[in-house]
A and B are shown apart, each in its own frame.
Chain A
Amino acid sequence: MADAELPMAVDGGYDWDGRWNHVRKFLERPGPFAHPDFEPCTESLQFLLEMCKILVIGAGGLGCELLKNLALSGFRLIHVVDMDTIDISNLNRQFLFRPKDVGRPKAEVAADFINNRIPGCKVVPHYKKIQDFDESFYRQFHIIVCGLDSIIARRWMNGMLISLLSYEDGVLDPSSIIPLIDGGTEGFKGNSRVILPGMTACIDCTLELYPPQINFPMCTIASMPRLPEHCIEYARILLWPKEKPFGETSLDGDNPEHIQWVFKKSIERAAEFHITGVTYRLTQGVVKRIIPAVASTNAVIAAACSLEVFKIASSAYIPLNNYLVFNDVDGLYTYTFEAERKENCSACSQVPQNLQFPPSAKLQEVLEYLMENASLQMKSPAITTTLEGKNKTLYLQSVKSIEERTKPNLCKTLTELGLSDGQELAVADVTTPQTVLFKLNFTT
């Protein structure tokens, strides 16, 4: 669609008469429910339009909605980060993308669309992982809003903002707080929360609300399958690494050839045990751990999140305090509550984390605890410590050579490894940008 000549410059850019009337009403009028700090004035709109910098994490189902909502609420300085490219399956709810965009980076296509559709908006895309940026990048934003589908990524972002906090004499400097609005959806359910790092409950404070993913026990998969899902996992976990059907490439859930292979093998497995129900669709769902997404849930949750961004940026209302749950399976249901900070949260409490183990415990037990404990849920923790003044890696999984070298340590006891009562262990993991310090307490 050809753009007509842009309107005359008004208010420093692209605004026509009355364009922001609906927003102005909240910025320029006092009201009984506004934030105590709120002062109605005409300059507030300028702040939103010209100075307020927002970061949107994710340009998928939630991200597209967030970008649209923010742009239509007056925000113009928006950055968006997404590491994915567009897949055809995204098109039924990620409405900034068209068939011609398949294969292009989501962040870039989303930014282009918004900038074209909403004159004056300057969305800056980043086709990157969140971990590719450091504090200097994140520090420039007034508010960060997440539309992610990964708990690990959320926790990382959470950890990053906590690392930006500065304390003077043990007192938190409020200007170092960057509010984090987090939205998540799963089918017909969704939630939206406001996090003020250092002040309110953070992601890790409420980690138990995110149940760990269901993984079938290996013995079921290996020798006693009952469900079609067991057969698919058999093909995925056991056959693929053994038969290497496509050479050294790892299984890619988005590659139809890969899925076809897994599907065929799953059918064979299922036939052996007289199990019915293996379909291509189910295969893909299990391999990709897909929970079907619903456009309208994304719309609702993104709307709630964007409104909170507006409230915080403008003080026009008191923000959500602090957690909204939404479910429209049966009618429409919302539940709003104040999630509480965890006193000894491993991410935000600054309270040293304790590990209680007998000295005869093996390092393997410590590793399992870090991964299985509901409040920690680490994915592949790397444990280091200081022994005789030197840094020593006790176990690290992510680098093959170090993994091989440190693997024997797992079977050694804590005393055999030279650790003593009160020893500090530094643990790094994908769930946090900073290492977490643990204090080892020997039990008798």
Chain B
Amino acid sequence: MLFMVTYMPTLCCRLWGDHGQDTLENAHVCLINATATGTEILKNLVLPGNLNVFTAVPYVCIVSYSFFLTYNSIGKNRAQAATELLQELNSHVSGNFVEESPEKLLDNNPDFFHRFTIVIAVQLPESTSLRLGSVLWSASIPFLVCKTYGLIGYMRLVVQEHTVIESHPDSALEDLRLDKPFAEFKNHLQSFDLESMNKKDHSHTPWIIIIAKYLEKWLSEHNYKPPQNYKEKEAFRQLIRDGIRKNENGVPEDEENFEEAIKNVNTALNQTKIPSAVEELFNSEQCNNINSESSSFWVMLRAVKDFVHSEGNRDLPVRGTIPDMIADSQKFINLQNVYRTKAMQDAAAVSTHVQRLLQSLGKVCKNASFLRVVRCRSLAEEYGVDSVNKDEITSCMDNPDSEMVFYLILRGVERFYQQHSRYPGVYNYQVEDDISKLKLCVNSVMQEYNLNVNIKDDYVHEFCRFGASEPHTVAAFIGGSAAQEAIKIISHQFVPFNNTFIYNAMLQTSATLQL
């Protein structure tokens, strides 16, 4: 424990925040198949976090190209060997392994999987994936399917409904409410008189105040309509520019805060409105029908919606942060406090709409515009003849070199396995002949779905060359990617992919497809 406390704080938490870290610590992960890819995923999960890790593996390892299996592991149960070496990475993780194959578990004890926060399966044959997918879908347990096949990486996320509370967008627009100033801001604005200020104060007034002041002026002269188009915004900028103090010779002084104001006119004049993604959530059934079974996410969301329709006057709770800007300390802090106080008031108002979870509430309000729900189609829907996403497939394949082609050939490869009980091109002498066999399999899958797409022979050939290999470098790429997506699912922070990720290591390109 001491070990965890000493190295956890700074680096992890600045990104995840303490909140995310809690859910990571209580997670219980199931990894199926400790192959190179599987052990890489585990390594990336085990290293940074305090997770409970579970491994189920059917096969005894013969060849080790995993970093966590050594020559000495040969002959041993792969899961056991991998577990031992992985635990070295983090002595506070408890790793367990199971000796039954996933197929056996599905036959005899499918409930086994219900205890997990997420199930990650690697290199599973299609039939097992589909069976397991169905069990996990009914139990609402997220399922991440991964495959490394030659120089192609594949990931498929299957989750019914995944809520993201903190999606941490990189470039978030500020929430300044200059178009709809709240009462406390208007009061604060009154305390500024730009004309009568001394030189120092004038050049250290925050640009938010400057824009607000000049906006007041503009509105009174333009029938209370804010600047609408480019011409008017230019005029507004000029209005501000004219406000820059001049010295005895009429030369404008160097007032950086005014320059900042001019620069920020465009974004400052943005309309305050509720993002469409959040509107959609407000209109969804789960939000409108809150009951005893509703998750805390929906309860909170509903509370925010109720706030919007009452105290909020059709707007979300104020975020409460302002960007840094040229100002003297006091003016900046005072302005910051105006926003902060308002944000806290709004948060308190939302809390009157909520019966519990006041602790998490602060976070939800700050991120009200950053609430997202991710819903992935089930594997059954992806594979079903009537529900297959033909549009996505055909439109991608308008470009025959699209990463979609690798998905289609992977489907053909699984068909090949079903028919021949082996993968194509495993041995050198098979490569040539298997090309035409694989092509037939791919075509038969296309025909079943009534898909008319052009699959280049070169790609089929390359898949035979791959010979179902799992090169470590590609395994490591998928290992890193999959671990990160798993962490997103477990922590409910950051938005996961939806729903199929293809990595083409030959060209170092990738694509996310919705299948």
In the assembled complex, the Cα of A332 lies from the Cα of B481 at a distance in Å of 8
Can you sample 9 A-B contacts with CB below 8 Å? A22-B470, A25-B150, A25-B466, A68-B472, A92-B8, A295-B44, A307-B151, A332-B485, A334-B510
User: Which residues between 302 and 330 of chain A lie within 8 Å of chain B, taking CB atoms?
Assistant: 302-304, 306-308, 310, 317-318, 320, 324, 328-330
> What 4 additional pairs, Cβ within 8 angstroms, besides A295-B47, A332-B485?
A28-B428, A92-B12, A306-B476, A324-B508
Hey, which chain B residues are within 8 Å of A297, CB to CB?
480, 484
Hey, which chain B residues are within 8 Å of A324, CB to CB?
508
Q: B333's contact among A118, A119, A226, by CB below 8 Å, is which?
A: A226
B15 touches A294 (CB 8 A): yes
User: Given A73-B472, A292-B12, are A25 and B48 also a contact pair (CB < 8 Å)?
Assistant: no
In the assembled complex, the Cα of A298 lies from the Cα of B483 at a distance in Å of 12
B327 touches A329 (CB 8 A): no
B47 touches A31 (CB 8 A): no
Hey, which chain A residues are within 8 Å of B324, CB to CB?
226-227
A292 touches B7 (CB 8 A): no
Asked whether A266 is an interface residue with its Cβ less than 8 Å from the other chain, the reply is: no
In the assembled complex, the Cα of A38 lies from the Cα of B466 at a distance in Å of 16
Hey, which chain A residues are within 8 Å of B316, CB to CB?
none
A330 touches B506 (CB 8 A): no
Asked whether B62 is an interface residue with its Cβ less than 8 Å from the other chain, the reply is: yes
User: Given A224-B204, A275-B333, A293-B11, are A303 and B473 also a contact pair (CB < 8 Å)?
Assistant: yes
In the assembled complex, the Cα of A48 lies from the Cα of B97 at a distance in Å of 35
Q: How far does the Cβ of B377 sit from chain A's closest Cβ, in whole Å?
A: 16
Q: B484's contact among A19, A281, A296, A318, by CB below 8 Å, is which?
A: A296
Nearest first, the 6 A-B pairs at minimum CB distance are A299-B480, A303-B476, A300-B480, A303-B477, A331-B497, A307-B473
Hey, which chain A residues are within 8 Å of B465, CB to CB?
25-26, 29-31
| Beta-carbon nearest neighbor of B164 in chain A | A330
Q: B6's contact among A25, A30, A88, A320, by CB below 8 Å, is which?
A: A88
A32 touches B469 (CB 8 A): no
A281 touches B13 (CB 8 A): yes
Contact with A along B488-512 (1 / 0, CB 8 A): 0000001111100101011111101
User: Given A1-B72, A95-B43, are A281 and B9 also a contact pair (CB < 8 Å)?
Assistant: yes
Contact with B along A273-306 (1 / 0, CB 8 A): 1110000010011000010111111111011101
A23 touches B471 (CB 8 A): yes
Residue in A29, A227, A275 with the greatest tally of chain B CB atoms within 10 Å = A29
A72 touches B483 (CB 8 A): no
A285 touches B476 (CB 8 A): no
Q: A317's contact among B64, B506, B510, by CB below 8 Å, is which?
A: B506
Asked whether A244 is an interface residue with its Cβ less than 8 Å from the other chain, the reply is: no
User: Given A72-B65, A320-B508, A330-B169, are A290 and B10 also a contact pair (CB < 8 Å)?
Assistant: yes
Q: How far does the Cβ of B13 sit from chain A's closest Cβ, in whole Å?
A: 7
Hey, which chain A residues are within 8 Å of B71, CB to CB?
4, 6-7, 16, 119
Asked whether B170 is an interface residue with its Cβ less than 8 Å from the other chain, the reply is: yes
In the assembled complex, the Cα of A290 lies from the Cα of B428 at a distance in Å of 50
Asked whether A346 is an interface residue with its Cβ less than 8 Å from the other chain, the reply is: no
Asked whether B461 is an interface residue with its Cβ less than 8 Å from the other chain, the reply is: yes
Q: How far does the Cβ of A213 sit from chain B's closest Cβ, in whole Å?
A: 16
| Beta-carbon nearest neighbor of B501 in chain A | A332
Q: A92's contact among B7, B88, B471, by CB below 8 Å, is which?
A: B7
User: Which residues between 262 and 276 of chain A lie within 8 Å of chain B, taking CB atoms?
Assistant: 273-275
Hey, which chain B residues are within 8 Å of A30, CB to CB?
465
| Beta-carbon nearest neighbor of B458 in chain A | A32
Q: How far does the Cβ of B224 sit from chain A's closest Cβ, in whole Å?
A: 33
User: Which residues between 29 and 87 of chain A lie within 8 Å of chain B, taking CB atoms?
Assistant: 29-33, 65, 68-69, 72-73
Asked whether A158 is an interface residue with its Cβ less than 8 Å from the other chain, the reply is: no
Q: A281's contact among B14, B64, B476, B507, by CB below 8 Å, is which?
A: B14
Asked whether B94 is an interface residue with its Cβ less than 8 Å from the other chain, the reply is: no
Hey, which chain B residues are within 8 Å of A392, CB to CB?
none
User: Given A32-B462, A294-B484, are A69 and B476 also a contact pair (CB < 8 Å)?
Assistant: yes
B480 touches A303 (CB 8 A): yes
In the assembled complex, the Cα of A328 lies from the Cα of B465 at a distance in Å of 30
Hey, which chain B residues are within 8 Å of A225, CB to CB?
329
| Beta-carbon nearest neighbor of A65 in chain B | B476
In the assembled complex, the Cα of A140 lies from the Cα of B8 at a distance in Å of 40
Q: B48's contact among A4, A21, A92, by CB below 8 Å, is which?
A: A92
Q: B476's contact among A224, A302, A308, A332, by CB below 8 Å, is which?
A: A302
| Beta-carbon nearest neighbor of B151 in chain A | A317
Asked whether B230 is an interface residue with its Cβ less than 8 Å from the other chain, the reply is: no
In the assembled complex, the Cα of A300 lies from the Cα of B117 at a distance in Å of 24
Q: A299's contact among B40, B62, B169, by CB below 8 Å, is which?
A: B40
In the assembled complex, the Cα of A234 lies from the Cα of B7 at a distance in Å of 27
Hey, which chain A residues are within 8 Å of B477, CB to CB?
299-300, 303-304, 307
Q: How far does the Cβ of B302 sit from chain A's closest Cβ, in whole Å?
A: 25
Q: B461's contact among A31, A298, A308, A333, by CB below 8 Å, is which?
A: A31
Asked whether A117 is an interface residue with its Cβ less than 8 Å from the other chain, the reply is: yes
In the assembled complex, the Cα of A89 lies from the Cα of B509 at a distance in Å of 33
Q: How far does the Cβ of B370 sit from chain A's closest Cβ, in whole Å?
A: 11
In the assembled complex, the Cα of A136 lies from the Cα of B491 at a distance in Å of 50
Hey, which chain A residues are within 8 Å of B12, CB to CB?
92, 292
Hey, which chain A residues are within 8 Å of B167, CB to CB?
330
User: Given A317-B151, A332-B497, are A307 and B44 also a contact pair (CB < 8 Å)?
Assistant: no
Residue in B472, B474, B506 with the greatest tally of chain A CB atoms within 10 Å = B472
Q: B512's contact among A98, A117, A300, A331, by CB below 8 Å, is which?
A: A331
User: Given A18-B63, A295-B47, A300-B477, are A336 and B508 also a contact pair (CB < 8 Å)?
Assistant: yes
B498 touches A331 (CB 8 A): yes
User: Given A72-B65, A298-B480, are A187 and B15 also a contact pair (CB < 8 Å)?
Assistant: yes
Asked whether B101 is an interface residue with its Cβ less than 8 Å from the other chain, the reply is: no
Q: How far does the Cβ of A308 sit from chain B's closest Cβ, in whole Å?
A: 8
Asked whether B479 is an interface residue with its Cβ less than 8 Å from the other chain, the reply is: yes
Asked whether A243 is an interface residue with its Cβ less than 8 Å from the other chain, the reply is: no
A33 touches B462 (CB 8 A): yes
In the assembled complex, the Cα of A318 lies from the Cα of B508 at a distance in Å of 11
User: Given A28-B428, A292-B15, A320-B507, are A285 and B333 also a contact pair (CB < 8 Å)?
Assistant: no
Asked whether A12 is an interface residue with its Cβ less than 8 Å from the other chain, the reply is: no
Residue in A4, A118, A330 with the greatest tally of chain B CB atoms within 10 Å = A330
A292 touches B494 (CB 8 A): no
Hey, which chain B residues are within 8 Å of A19, CB to CB?
63-64
Hey, which chain A residues are within 8 Å of B462, CB to CB?
31-33
In the assembled complex, the Cα of A92 lies from the Cα of B43 at a distance in Å of 11
Hey, which chain A residues are within 8 Å of B472, CB to CB?
22, 68-69, 72-73
Hey, which chain B residues are within 8 Å of A4, CB to CB?
71-72
| Beta-carbon nearest neighbor of B43 in chain A | A95
User: Given A23-B471, A32-B461, are A331 and B496 also a contact pair (CB < 8 Å)?
Assistant: yes
Asked whether A192 is an interface residue with its Cβ less than 8 Å from the other chain, the reply is: yes
B11 touches A306 (CB 8 A): no
Asked whether A168 is an interface residue with its Cβ less than 8 Å from the other chain, the reply is: no
B151 touches A330 (CB 8 A): no
Asked whether A248 is an interface residue with its Cβ less than 8 Å from the other chain, the reply is: no
Asked whether A389 is an interface residue with its Cβ less than 8 Å from the other chain, the reply is: no
Hey, which chain A residues are within 8 Å of B150, CB to CB?
25
Q: B89's contact among A21, A95, A275, by CB below 8 Å, is which?
A: A95
B428 touches A29 (CB 8 A): yes
Hey, which chain B residues are within 8 Å of A88, CB to CB?
6-7
Asked whether A3 is an interface residue with its Cβ less than 8 Å from the other chain, the reply is: yes
In the assembled complex, the Cα of A16 lies from the Cα of B510 at a distance in Å of 35
User: Given A320-B507, A331-B497, are A92 and B11 also a contact pair (CB < 8 Å)?
Assistant: yes
Contact with A along B127-154 (1 / 0, CB 8 A): 0000000000000000000000011000
Q: How far does the Cβ of A102 sit from chain B's closest Cβ, in whole Å?
A: 10
Q: How far does the Cβ of B367 sit from chain A's closest Cβ, in whole Å?
A: 14
Hey, which chain B residues are within 8 Å of A306, CB to CB?
473, 476
Asked whether B58 is an interface residue with its Cβ less than 8 Å from the other chain, the reply is: no
Hey, which chain B residues are within 8 Å of A292, CB to CB?
10-12, 14-15
Hey, which chain B residues are within 8 Å of A1, CB to CB?
72
User: Given A33-B506, A307-B474, are A299 and B483 also a contact pair (CB < 8 Å)?
Assistant: yes
